[in-house]
């Protein structure tokens, strides 16, 4: 009997190559490729008066230099606006190389291709550009004030204003027994994978084909972009995703200018070309996320039940909007979390600034929405003097409410926001138990007696995962019995090769070790979308399960014929089809693969069993009319809408009374991502997400000065947590509420760890300090300033009393 693999803590098959130095990342490929370096704008806002490349042309080792003038056809057009939306009335995208204006420090102006990166950088330094400086718009307040414009033809710096609502929030707030008006801000951060962007391309003149390897979250997206921009047929372009050193969202943005320029140069120079981004470039020319200002009006009853919620927020989308409005739309819809306000209104403005573009970073707008909602819950509790958990519970959607529609809101996929399943009260019970919520006041008293300040925070989230449109799976049984699986979406460390093999092992009935999974290779899976929105397990997992079931069905059909048995009497285990109760009557899947492919030519002993003189009914065609040769299964999974994962985080912090340092004492996570494929991998995703969340809450920000220069564009000053900044242990409890929307009951798990972290830290620090925390991230220096401010306020208030 085959051991069931679903739900098992199976060690990853990826690890052998990665722990021995045998991973293949973009910069490890195609030795001898020429290397590209990019001249980037040193100014946040300027007109380009002239570009002089004269000093570069004759340099030894330089093969080519390109500016906008050298681009032709579609390449000379602006980069694609990937996700258009009717509300995005003033969408703008940059040119592959700046045409006559630059809008952020880091925007690509020219590229040099040279023998190696050293020489390419020497050459880039010698290109002379004359600029006419324009006033940069930096930060949301400046964008809102609109004294200066980022794009001359975009009034008030507004890319879009979008409104959604259900019920009548304003009337409900007016009529409510209590109301609060709240303002929050949240700063920028970034995905910041340890491997930056990287692209290698080879043009094969003999085969008339372009091969591209790129560190991306969507091989099919890059393929389509390269074909369209370079004027090639889709069928001429192969995009292969090698090992990818982390993505976290930044690599779903595509095509990057370099992803087009590298293949362009490779074709022009008839030599492989490579671009490997360095760290400084990643800071100033990849993408950021998170920056928002939020205004909230909420009306509620004596129990803290929301009667009406009205949200207005301003979203900093950076200099261009290639990824459309996805991030703020997610904020505006996922803000509601596990709660059911009867009346809701949300409006956002997506604003241009002269800074790096904003596209999804793990969580993609959800951390901001959860922050707004959970800060509001805490404010309601504080206002009523109620327990923060009780207020949340009073607003929860109940288990019997599912499927639950959040009014008629539309989600990021343009589909109704309908939660499929969940059990939020039970999640809260688990969270309270895990963090010992009820015992905290006693602990606080103990700590206070010892001169210590501690605080506890709690935050809930609901995450729409597994967004469409579709993914596919292909399962092919080789004549050796090995099972080759392909799916089109890519992997950046999530262990897809392992998790998908677990699914196939169970669905097909084969040993886990015989399954080999390939992801993100357009030669194997030309139809696919990509890895984002915690969708890989849900989408490709489901598609692969369906594909494996198809392969199984075919295997059973052939086996029934071969064993002269009824299909219903057969079972597959360990790669062998048996007649139930008659174990001597059996046939291996590999043999079935041989039989599935009628041959004219034998090339080994096994295949001779399938030649025309060996098998087949002479009165029937060798391949039935509605059949295909080969033992394989293929299918696509395309859901009606997202499935909604959920969870609650709780944290206990200690703040130093003198230095305002913030120490994490305990961190607990309960979560529900439906059926678990591999708990080890899921927990790894949670750990990593929480660590990124700690970074986003306490350490990381993009520190722009008024000129639009990023002050901390290095790992020295952009403070990603080391081990010393994260909790020793993240305490985790799982809840499994299967999704009714897909064959395995899966929900996504990749992003959740990072979603409620800013909210939960704000909650805990506020609890420790006794004054509102309304801006995140928060540093000790900022906490110290708040203390002084509130002490001052107290001093001012005292005489009046």
* Near another protein in 118-147, by CB under 8 A: 118-119, 121-122, 125-126
Least distance CB 583 / another protein (angstroms): 35
Q: 419 Cβ partners below 8 Å, 6+ apart? A: 397, 402, 403, 404, 405, 406, 462, 644
Angle among Cα 710, 761, 671 to the nearest 5 degrees reads: 110
The number of beta carbons lying within 10 Å of the beta carbon of residue 628 is 12
19 binds another protein (CB under 8 A): yes
Contacting residue, 488, 495, 633, 696, with another protein by CB under 8 A: 495
Q: Does 728 bind another protein (CB under 8 A)?
A: yes
Q: Pick one of 257, 575, 753, 777: the residue that binds another protein (CB under 8 A).
A: 753
Query: Between 6 and 719, whose beta carbon lies closer to another protein?
Result: 719
Q: Is residue 61 near another protein by the rule CB under 8 A?
A: yes
Is 527 among the residues that bind another protein (CB under 8 A)? Answer: no
How far apart are the C-alpha atoms of 525 and 542, rounded to whole Å? 16
543 three-class SS: helix
- Per DSSP, the three-state class of 260 is helix
Q: Does 439 bind another protein (CB under 8 A)?
A: no
- What are 621's two structure tokens? 């065609």
Least distance from another protein to the Cβ atom of residue 554, Å = 35
Tell me which residues in 91-110 interact with another protein (CB under 8 A).
none
Closest distance of CB 455 from another protein, Å: 20
Instruction: Choose one: 144-152, 471-479, 768-776, 777-785; the region binding another protein (CB under 8 A).
Output: 777-785
Rounded Cα gap, residues 624 and 673, in angstroms: 42
Residues β-bridged to residue 746: 674
Residue from 166, 312, 402, 784 that binds another protein (CB under 8 A)? 784
* Interacting residues of 683 by C-beta distance below 8 A, sequence separation 6+: 732
Contact flag: residue 703 with another protein (CB under 8 A): yes
Binding of residue 60 to another protein (CB under 8 A): yes
CB of 443 to another protein, least distance (A): 23
Nearer to another protein, 661 or 733 (CB): 661
Nearest-approach distance from CB 791 to another protein, in angstroms: 13
Nearest distance in Å: CB 176, another protein = 40
From residue 662 to residue 681, the character string flagging contacts with another protein as x (rule: CB under 8 A) and all else as - is ------------------xx
Q: Shortest gap between Cβ of 502 and another protein (angstroms)?
A: 14
Q: Which of 164, 294, 494, 534 binds another protein (CB under 8 A)?
A: 494
Q: Give 118 or 527: the residue with its C-beta nearer to another protein.
A: 118
Q: Which is nearer to another protein, 194 or 582 (CB)?
A: 194
Tokens 């004492």, located at residue: 665
Q: Which of 164, 317, 355, 492 binds another protein (CB under 8 A)?
A: 492
215-274 positions binding another protein, by CB under 8 A: 243-246, 248
Q: Looking at residues 754 to 773 of the shown chain, list those that interact with another protein (rule: CB under 8 A).
A: none
Which helix (DSSP H) or strand (DSSP E) does residue 263 occupy? helix 257-269
Of 376, 410, 202, 357, the C-alpha closest to 294 is: 376
Nearer to another protein, 89 or 781 (CB): 781
Q: Which residue has the tokens 């509605």?
A: 626
Q: How far is the CB of 191 from another protein (least distance, A)?
A: 8
* C-alpha 252, offset from chain centre: 7
Cα distances (angstroms) measured from residue 508 to each of 482, 577, 578, 721: 12, 10, 13, 42
CA Rg, the chain, in Å? 29
Residue 714 to residue 719: CA distance in whole angstroms: 9
Q: Could you tell me which residues come within 8 angstroms of residue 189 by beta carbon, excluding any fewer than 6 positions away?
A: 288, 289, 290, 361, 695, 696, 700, 701, 702, 777
Q: Among 791, 741, 777, which residue's Cα sits nearest to residue 415? A: 741
Q: Name residues contacting another protein, limited to 198-217 (CB under 8 A).
A: none
Helix/strand/coil for 189? strand
Q: Is 627 in the site for another protein (CB under 8 A)?
A: no
Name the minimum Å distance from CB 341 to another protein: 33
Query: Are the C-beta atoms of 36 and 273 separated by less than 8 Å?
Result: yes
Shorter beta-carbon distance to another protein: residue 328 or 493: 493
- Please tell me what DSSP assigns to residue 157: G
Please give the Cα distance from 293 to 188 (Å, whole number). 11
Give the Cα separation of 401 and 99 in Å (integer).
54
For 406-433, letters b (16+ CB in 10 Å) and e give: bbebebbbeeebbbbbbbbeebbbbbbe
Q: Per the structure block, which two tokens stand in for 662?
A: 């913030």
Q: Does residue number 590 form part of the binding site for another protein (CB under 8 A)?
A: no
- Answer yes or no whether residue 700 interacts with another protein by CB under 8 A: no
Q: Least separation, in Å, of the C-beta of 651 and another protein?
A: 14
Among 3, 181, 638, 714, binds another protein (CB under 8 A): 714
Per rule CB under 8 A, is residue 793 in the interface with another protein? no
What whole-number distance in Å separates Cα of residue 649 and Cα of residue 763?
A: 11
Residue 365 contacts another protein per CB under 8 A: no
**Distance (Å, whole) CA 318 – CA 708:** 11
* Contact stretch for another protein (CB under 8 A) within 204-212, 216-224, 369-377, 713-721: 713-721
Which member of 7, 684, 743, 772 binds another protein (CB under 8 A)?
684
With binding defined as CB under 8 A, does residue 712 bind another protein? yes
Residue 513 makes contact with another protein by CB under 8 A: no
Q: Does residue number 692 form part of the binding site for another protein (CB under 8 A)?
A: yes
Distance between the two ends of the chain, CA-based, in angstroms?
78
The pair of structure tokens assigned to 518 is 């390939």
Stretch that binds another protein, among 179-187, 479-487, 655-663, 740-748 (CB under 8 A): 655-663
Q: Identify the residue among 132, 163, 270, 279 touching another protein (CB under 8 A).
A: 279
Q: Is 194 near another protein (CB under 8 A)?
A: yes
The helix-helix angle for 757-769 and 366-384 (nearest 10°) equals 30
Choice from 27, 258, 420, 423 touching another protein (CB under 8 A) = 27
């Amino acid at each position: 009997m085959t051991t069931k693999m679903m739900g098992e803590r199976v060690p990853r098959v990826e690890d052998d190559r990665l722990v021995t130095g045998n991973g293949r990342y973009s910069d490890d490929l195609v030795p001898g490729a020429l290397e590209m370096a990019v001249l980037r704008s040193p100014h946040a806002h300027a007109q380009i008066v002239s570009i002089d490349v004269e000093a570069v042309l004759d340099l030894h080792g330089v093969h080519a230099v390109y500016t906008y003038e050298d681009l032709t056809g579609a390449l000379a057009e602006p980069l694609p606006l990937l996700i258009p939306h009717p509300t995005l009335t003033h969408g703008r995208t940059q040119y592959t190389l700046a045409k006559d204006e630059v809008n952020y420090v880091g925007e690509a102006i020219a590229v040099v291709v040279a023998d190696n990166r050293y020489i390419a950088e020497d050459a880039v330094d010698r290109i002379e550009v004359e600029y006419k400086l324009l006033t940069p718009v930096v930060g949301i307040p400046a964008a809102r004030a609109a004294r200066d414009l980022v794009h001359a033809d975009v009034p008030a710096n507004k890319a879009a204003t979008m409104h959604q609502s259900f019920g009548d929030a304003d009337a409900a707030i007016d009529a409510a027994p209590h109301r609060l008006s709240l303002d929050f801000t949240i700063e920028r951060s970034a995905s910041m994978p340890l491997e930056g962007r990287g692209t290698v391309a080879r043009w094969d003149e003999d085969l008339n084909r372009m091969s591209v390897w790129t560190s991306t979250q969507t091989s099919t997206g890059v393929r389509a972009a390269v074909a369209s921009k370079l004027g090639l047929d889709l069928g001429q372009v192969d995009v292969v995703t090698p090992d990818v050193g982390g993505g976290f969202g930044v690599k779903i943005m595509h095509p990057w200018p370099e992803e087009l320029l590298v293949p362009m140069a490779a074709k022009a120079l008839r030599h492989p070309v490579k671009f490997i981004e360095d760290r400084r470039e990643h800071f100033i020319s990849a993408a950021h996320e998170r920056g928002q200002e939020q205004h909230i009006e909420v009306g509620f009853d004596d129990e803290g039940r929301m009667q009406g919620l009205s949200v207005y927020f301003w979203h900093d989308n950076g200099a261009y909007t290639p990824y459309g409005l996805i991030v703020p739309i997610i904020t505006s819809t996922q803000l509601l979390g596990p709660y059911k306000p009867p009346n809701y209104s949300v409006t956002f403005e997506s604003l241009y600034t002269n800074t790096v573009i904003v596209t999804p970073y793990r969580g993609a707008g959800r951390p901001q929405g959860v922050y707004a909602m959970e800060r509001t819950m805490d404010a309601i509790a504080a206002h009523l003097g109620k327990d923060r958990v009780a207020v949340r519970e009073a607003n929860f959607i109940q288990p019997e409410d599912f499927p639950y529609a959040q009014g008629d809101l539309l989600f990021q996929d343009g589909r109704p926001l309908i939660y499929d399943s969940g059990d939020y009260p039970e999640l809260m019970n688990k969270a309270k138990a895990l963090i010992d919520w009820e015992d905290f006041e006693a602990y606080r008293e103990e700590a206070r007696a010892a001169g210590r300040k501690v605080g506890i925070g709690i935050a809930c989230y609901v995450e729409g995962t597994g967004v469409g449109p579709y993914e596919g799976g292909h399962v092919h049984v080789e004549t050796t019995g090995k099972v080759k699986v392909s799916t089109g979406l890519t992997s950046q460390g999530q262990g897809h090769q392992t998790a998908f093999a677990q699914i196939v092992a169970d669905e097909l009935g084969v040993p886990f070790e015989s399954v080999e999974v390939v992801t993100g290779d357009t030669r194997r899976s030309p139809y696919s979308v990509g890895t984002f929105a915690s969708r890989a397990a849900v989408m490709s997992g489901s598609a692969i399960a369906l594909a494996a079931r198809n392969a199984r069905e075919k295997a059973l059909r052939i086996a029934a014929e071969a064993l002269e048995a009824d299909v219903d009497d057969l079972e597959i285990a360990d790669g062998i089809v048996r007649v139930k109760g008659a174990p001597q009557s059996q046939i291996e899947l590999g043999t079935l693969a041989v039989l599935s492919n009628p041959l004219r030519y034998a090339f080994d002993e096994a295949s001779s069993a399938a030649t025309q003189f060996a098998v087949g009914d002479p009165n029937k065609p060798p391949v039935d009319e509605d059949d295909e040769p080969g033992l394989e299964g293929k299918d696509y999974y395309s859901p009606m809408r997202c499935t909604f994962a959920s969870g609650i985080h709780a944290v206990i912090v200690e703040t130093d009374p003198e230095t305002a340092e913030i120490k994490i004492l305990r961190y607990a996570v309960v979560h529900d991502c439906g059926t678990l494929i591999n708990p080890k991998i899921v927990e790894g995703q949670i750990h990593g997400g929480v660590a990124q969340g700690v970074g986003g809450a306490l350490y990381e920000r993009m520190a722009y000065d008024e000129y639009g220069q990023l002050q901390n564009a290095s790992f020295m000053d952009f403070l990603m947590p080391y081990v010393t900044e994260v909790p020793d242990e993240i305490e985790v409890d799982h809840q499994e509420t299967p999704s009714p929307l897909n064959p395995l009951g899966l929900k996504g798990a990749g992003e959740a760890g990072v979603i409620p972290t800013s909210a939960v830290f704000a909650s805990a620090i506020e609890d420790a300090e006794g004054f509102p925390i309304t801006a995140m991230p928060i540093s000790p220096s900022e906490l110290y300033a708040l203390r002084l401010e509130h002490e001052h306020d107290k001093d001012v208030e005292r005489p009046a009393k």
